Amino acid sequence: MKVLITGGAGFIGSNFVRHLLNSKRDVNVINFDSLTYAGNPESLADIAENPRYQFIRGDVTDKQAVDAVFKNGLDALVNFAAETHVDRSIEDATPFLRTNILGTQCLLDAAKRFKLPKFVQISTDEVYGSAPAGVSFTEETVLDPRSPYAASKAAADHFVSAYANTYGVPAVVLRCTNNYGPYQFPEKLIPLMVANAREDNPLPIYGDGMQERDWLFVEDYCSAIALALYKAQPGTIYNVSAGAPQPNLKIVRTILKHLGKPESLMQYVKDRPGHDRRYALDSSKIQKELGWSPKVSFEEGIRRTVDWYQSNTAWLNHARSGEYRNYYDRHYVRRTETFSK
Ligand code: NAD
Ligand code: TYD
pLDDT in tens, 165-224: 999 999 999 999 999 999 999 999 999 999 999 999 999 999 999 999 999 999 999 999
Residue of minimum CA distance from atom 21 in ligand 1: 33
Chain-centroid distance, C-alpha 282:
18
- What pLDDT shows up at residue 341? 57
- What pLDDT shows up at residue 339? 67
Ligand nearest to the CA of 180: 1
Strand bridging mode 2-6 / 171-176: unpaired
Q: Could you tell me the distance, in angstroms and rounded to a whole number, from the CA of residue 263 to the centre of ligand 1?
A: 31
Give, for ligand 1, the residue of 14, 15, 80 to mutate: max count of ligand atoms closer than 8 Å to Cβ.
80
Q: Give per-residue pLDDT as tens, 81-107.
A: 999 999 999 999 999 999 999 999 999
Ligand nearest to the CA of 61: 1
For the chain, how far is it from start to end, CA to CA, in angstroms?
A: 50
Give, for ligand 1, the residue of 17, 19, 36, 237 to mutate: max count of ligand atoms closer than 8 Å to Cβ.
36
Atom of ligand 2 nearest to the CA of 190: 2
- What pLDDT shows up at residue 337? 78
Give, for ligand 2, the residue of 85, 87, 153, 188 to mutate: max count of ligand atoms closer than 8 Å to Cβ.
188
The fold of 2-179+216-242+278-296 is Rossmann fold (3.40.50)
Mean of pLDDT values over 244-271: 98
- What pLDDT shows up at residue 336? 78
Q: Is the CB of 153 under 6 A from ligand 2?
A: no
Residue of minimum CA distance from atom 4 in ligand 1: 10
- What pLDDT shows up at residue 107? 99
Q: Which 8-state DSSP code applies to residue 10?
A: S
Chain-centroid distance, C-alpha 172:
16
Catalytic positions, written as ranges: 125-126, 149
3-class state of residue 201 by DSSP: coil
Q: Is the CB of 141 under 6 A from ligand 1?
A: no
- What pLDDT shows up at residue 322? 86
Give the percent of the chain with pLDDT over 70. 99
CA atoms within 13 A on the CB side of 251: 31
Mean of pLDDT values over 272-286: 98
CB 243 within 8 A of CB 136: yes
Ligand nearest to the CA of 209: 2
What are the sequence ranges of the domains in the chain?
2-179+216-242+278-296
Q: Give per-residue pLDDT as tens, 284-329.
A: 999 999 999 999 999 999 999 999 999 999 999 999 998 899 999 9
Residue of minimum CA distance from atom 22 in ligand 2: 204
In the β-sheet with 53-57, what is the strand arrangement from edge to edge? 53-57, 28-33, 2-6, 76-79, 119-124, 171-176, 237-240
Mean pLDDT of all residues belonging to the chain = 97
Please determine, for residue 254, whether its predicted confidence score (pLDDT) is greater than 80.
Answer: yes
Give the percent of the chain with pLDDT over 90. 97
- What pLDDT shows up at residue 335? 85
- What pLDDT shows up at residue 86? 98
Q: Give per-residue pLDDT as tens, 37-67.
A: 999 999 999 999 999 999 999 999 999 999 9
